[in-house]
Amino acid sequence: MRDFAKFCASHKTFKALHEIKGTQALVREIVGLKTSMSEHGPLQMPDIERKATEFERQGNQMQRLFNRIESGQGGSLESMEVAWSVAS
């Protein structure tokens, strides 16, 4: 989960700097997090499982926001900052 969070933070930064386009790498990381959690099976740690679910949800929100921004349908990186700070 720490690697996923680090990836998301750097992905957002590179996106803001227009260093990367698209969301394919982000989607791969989201799928990787989900796969990793399911490979370990039930962890019997509700807080960790809840946090992993929240990370996945926020990653999906970020991916949808980036897609909206790229397609010109609105949204901004600032709106994502608010959403992530409320959820944390």
pLDDT of residue 39: 86
pLDDT per residue over 34-56, tens digit each? 898 888 877 788 888 888 899 99
pLDDT per residue over 5-27, tens digit each? 888 888 878 877 878 777 888 89
The widest CA-to-CA distance across the chain, in whole angstroms, is 43
Quick one: which of 18, 24, 27 has its CA closest to 77?
18
Model-level pTM greater than 0.85? Answer: no
Would you say 22 and 3 are in contact if contact means Cβ atoms under 8 Å apart?
no
pLDDT per residue over 52-61, tens digit each? 899 999 999 8
How many CB atoms are closer than 10 A to CB 60? 13
Is a pLDDT exceeding 60 seen at residue 85?
A: no
Would you say 25 and 79 are in contact if contact means Cβ atoms under 8 Å apart?
no
Q: How far is the C-alpha of 86 from the C-alpha of 82, rounded, in Å?
A: 6
Q: How far is CA 51 from the centre of its chain?
A: 12
- Portion of the chain with pLDDT greater than 70, in percent: 84
